[in-house]
Homo-oligomer: A and B are copies of this chain.
Amino acid sequence: MGKKIKDPGLGNASAASAERMMNPNGSFNILHLNKTRRFSEAYNFLVEISWWYFFLLTFVVGFVLNAIFALIYLLIGIETITASTGNLSEDFFNAFFFSAQTFTTLGYGAMSPEGMASGIVSSFEAFFGLVVFAFITGLIYGRFSKPRAAIRFSKHIVFREFADNMAIMFRIVNNRRSIMIYPKVTVTLSLTKQNEDGEYTNSFYNLKLERKSINYLPTTWTIVHEVDKESPLSVFTKEELIKQQGEFLIMISYYDESFNQEVHQMHSYTLEELRLNYKFQKAFYYNTDGKMVLDHKLFDNIEKLNNT
């Protein structure tokens, strides 16, 4: 059996009920207990949530901060801003509008502070509002400029005849129009077994690939592991293989042309997901003008092989 390696950083211990180590989106399947929260993680959180969630959060936070300042103006006395209407909810709305006009440094002036207390609070609020918008500006740029790998992995991983052996194949496509430069791939197989003492342990193998890297990835790339005699999978029959508890841990690195940085993306397929005797449908072709066409709709398509 092929190149067994030391654990790649995951430890060899396992458990009967152990779930997959890596989620399909490439994150590790680990629960953190008693972790101290750090402010810098708030930034990472705000940069990684979706745009809709980000805007919702921004407006909710803005609304709440304004409401708090509105309450402070009410406490100080609405008459230090504008004439009281004699109606608390109307006064609150006026205080809220004044607060919003101050927070955003709009300052129409139809309402304006009179006296020390509202003078101090409104000066502070304007300053505070600008700092909040400095934060929002930083976050928006942080969201924009965060380099994100944009590899789309095929939904399926297939197990099919290839040359004289069987082979395991999955494919990737560039999800952006930009060029991926020097993509490199490594596939680590983790196999879980029960030893004589009844303990579950993981073994790790670096799988040999037909090609480990290409120069650029403008279309699709099918990554192939041939199950030859060297392969750790050669000891199983096709039917046995799919029943093993195991996982393909994939890491792809490339230089992203739009972010001008080296980026990494991870993905995982389990052995259970292997589709026996399927092949991928070609996703690009030349049209009548001689232009190469890449059809993203075809990317996940697989076809049953005839010989089965």
Residue among B17, B30, B44, B216 making CB contact with A9, cutoff 8 Å: B216
Q: Please determine whether A134 and B137 come into contact, CB atoms closer than 8 angstroms.
A: yes
Whether B290 contacts A11 by the Cβ 8 Å rule is no
The closest CB in chain B to the CB of A21 belongs to B292
Instruction: Decide: A62 and B127 in contact? CB cutoff 8 A.
Output: yes
B292 to A41, Cβ gap below 8 A?
Answer: no
Which of the segments A103-111, A158-166, A227-235, A236-244 contacts the partner chain? A103-111
Minimal Cβ-Cβ distance residue in B for A129 = B104
Contact check, B108 vs A105: say whether CB atoms are below 8 A apart.
no
A1: interface (CB < 8 Å)? no
A169 vs chain B, min Cβ distance (A): 15
Taking CB atoms, residues of chain B closer than 8 Å to A251 are 181, 215-216
Whether A266 contacts B179 by the Cβ 8 Å rule is yes
Q: Which residue of B lies closest to A255 (CB)?
A: B264
Cβ contact within 8 Å between B109 and A11: no
B contact residues around A264 at 8 Å (CB): 181, 255, 257
In the assembled complex, A71 has its CB within 8 A of some CB on chain B = no
Of A66, A134, A255, most buried by chain B (CB within 10 Å of CB) is: A134
CA distance A297 to B112 in the complex (A): 53
Answer whether A214 and B140 are a contact pair too, CB < 8 Å, given A33-B293, A292-B31: no
Interface range on chain A (Cβ under 8 Å from partner): 35 or more
Q: Is the CB of A19 within 8 A of B290?
A: yes
Bound-state Cα–Cα, A294 to B34, Å: 9
**What CA separation (Å) do A152 and B174 show in the bound complex?**
27
Residue of B nearest to A119 (CB): B97
- Chain B residues near A177 (CB, 8 Å)? 32, 35, 41
* Residues of the B chain whose Cβ atoms lie less than 8 Å from the Cβ of A41: 176-177
Q: Is A116 an interface residue (CB 8 A)?
A: yes
In the complex, the answer to whether B97 meets A179 with C-beta atoms within 8 Å is: no
Contact flags A119-163 to B (C-beta < 8 A → 1, else 0) = 110110011011101111111111011111010000000000000
Contact B178 A44 (CB under 8 A): yes
Q: Which of A184-234 contact B (CB under 8 A)?
A: 186, 188, 211, 214-219, 221
10 other contacts beyond A17-B289, A38-B176, with CB at 8 A cut-off? Answer: A6-B214, A19-B291, A28-B179, A39-B51, A100-B123, A100-B127, A101-B126, A134-B137, A181-B251, A260-B262
Interface residues of A (CB under 8 A from B): 6-11, 13-19, 21, 27-36, 38-41, 43-44, 51, 55, 58-59, 62, 66, 93-94, 96-97, 100-114, 116, 119-120, 122-123, 126-127, 129-131, 133-142, 144-148, 150, 175-179, 181, 183, 186, 188, 211, 214-219, 221, 251, 255, 257-264, 266, 284, 286-297
